Amino acid sequence: MDEMVERLTSVLRKIAAAEEAREAGGDPVTLVAVSKTFPGDAIRPVIEAGARVFGENKVQEAQQKWPELKEAYPDIELRLLGPLQSNKARDAVALFDVIETVDREKIAAEIARESHRQGRRPRVYVQVNIGREPQKAGIDPDEAVAFARRCREVHALEVEGLMCIPPSGEPPAPFFEKLAELTDQAGLSRRSMGMSGDYETAILHGATSVRVGSAIFGARTYA
């Protein structure tokens, strides 16, 4: 557990250094500690060390550990980072403060319906398939700006920004630059990009939140 806290401290130092190195005027960067696959007992030391924004990939897994943790630490913000199926929209709206994987009309409509029904309005990000990879979720970059507008105007969602995962094995910087351009074109200000292997590069190219898992929690034993 002490190792996790040390790794968290190291990540925070690197984030601060990247913020200093980028062009002046950038927004503060939010660290999203990706706690997927780790149980509540492993997450608590990271919370106690000061982390307050966490990400999970699966609604069902998050339901098993986060209600108790959020009750104990009411200032926690929980983000959904994995694909959302329409039949899980009700549970996702009830549990998550931010949903980062809105990428199609049907799921936008389901989140809007559940938000109205529950009287709860999570912030959302539009996920962009920035590398146009057939195996990855996300909306095509050419459609992202118009889709973000529909999410706001048609579905009345609180769209905070855009999110992407660049192709593995390729330099990420051009993809981060493209997401930054799309975010500006959409009239948004938040960019969720960068993970354990490239979050410093993402910050240099305009990330306002980075999703860091293994660099804090260590290697995972299962997906």
Residue 129 · residue 140 · CB < 8 Å: yes
- Go through 178-204 and write b for each residue having 16 or more CB atoms within 10 A of its CB, e for each that does not: bbbebbeebebebbbbbbbebbbbbbb
Task: Tell me the C-alpha distance between 83 and 155, whole Å.
Answer: 19
Task: Tell me the C-alpha distance between 129 and 190, whole Å.
Answer: 17
Task: Tell me the C-alpha distance between 160 and 65, whole Å.
Answer: 26
Provide the whole-model pTM: 0.96
Of 184, 183, 177, 219, nearest to 198 (Cα)? 177
Residue 192 · residue 211 · CB < 8 Å: yes
Output the pLDDT for position 57: 96
Of 162, 142, 165, nearest to 152 (Cα)? 162
pLDDT in tens, the chain (223 residues): 689 999 999 999 999 999 999 877 688 999 999 999 999 999 999 999 999 999 999 999 999 999 999 999 999 999 999 999 999 999 999 999 999 999 999 999 999 999 999 999 999 999 999 999 999 999 999 999 999 999 999 999 999 999 999 999 999 999 999 999 999 999 999 999 999 999 999 999 999 999 999 999 998 755 5
DSSP secondary structure, 152-201, as one string:
HHTT--EEEEEEE-PPTTS-SHHHHHHHHHHHHHTT--EEE---TTTHHH
